């Protein structure tokens, strides 16, 4: 299913730090993003569990949440939807926009060139 904006923030914490408690996620959000109440984060993560976006291990009192799908799979899906809706599915259009209007570091560029070279 479709993660909402707030759900995505939570997923990102789980991706970065692995399976976590609500407390941990909430702390990270407050450190890295914005003020948010514990109960709000809890509620959101409960909803995500209902939707099947995350799995919940209830064996101990402190429930442990983890992403239901691998990070790559979710990100790919989101990226693909982004390309489809914004660039009519043209990956090259996206790349050109990405490097046309932005100043990307030389390292990044050569990294990409190498990557593309080895793609065949």
Residues found near its own copies in the complex (CB under 8 A): 8, 12, 72, 75-76, 78-80, 82-83, 85-86, 90-92, 94-99, 101-102, 104, 108-109, 111-113, 115-116, 119
Site string for DNA, 19-38 (x = CB under 7 A): --xxx------------xxx
- Could you tell me the smallest distance in angstroms from the CB atom of residue 57 to its own copies? 26
CA 31 – CA 74 distance, rounded (Å): 24
Q: Residues 46-58, buried b or exposed e (16+ Cβ, 10 A)?
A: eebbeeebbebee
CA 51 – CA 55 distance, rounded (Å): 10
Site membership for DNA, residue 17 (CB under 7 A): no
- Could you tell me the smallest distance in angstroms from the CB atom of residue 3 to its own copies? 11
Look at residue 97 and give the partner it binds from DNA, its own copies, none, a contact being a CB closer than 5 to 8 Å depending on partner kind. its own copies
CA 112 – CA 23 distance, rounded (Å): 38
Look at residue 14 and give the partner it binds from DNA, its own copies, none, a contact being a CB closer than 5 to 8 Å depending on partner kind. none
CA 66 – CA 114 distance, rounded (Å): 34
């Amino acid at each position: 299913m479709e993660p909402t904006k707030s759900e995505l923030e939570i997923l990102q914490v789980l991706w970065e730090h692995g399976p976590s408690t609500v407390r941990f996620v909430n702390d990270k959000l407050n450190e890295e993003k914005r003020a948010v109440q514990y109960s709000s984060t809890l509620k959101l993560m409960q909803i995500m569990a209902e939707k099947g976006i995350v799995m919940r291990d209830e064996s101990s009192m402190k429930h442990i949440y983890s992403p239901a799908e691998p990070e790559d799979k979710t990100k790919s899906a989101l990226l693909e939807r982004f390309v489809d809706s914004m660039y009519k599915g043209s990956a090259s259009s996206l790349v050109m926009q990405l490097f046309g209007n932005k100043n990307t570091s030389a390292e990044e560029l050569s990294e990409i060139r190498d990557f593309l070279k080895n793609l065949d």
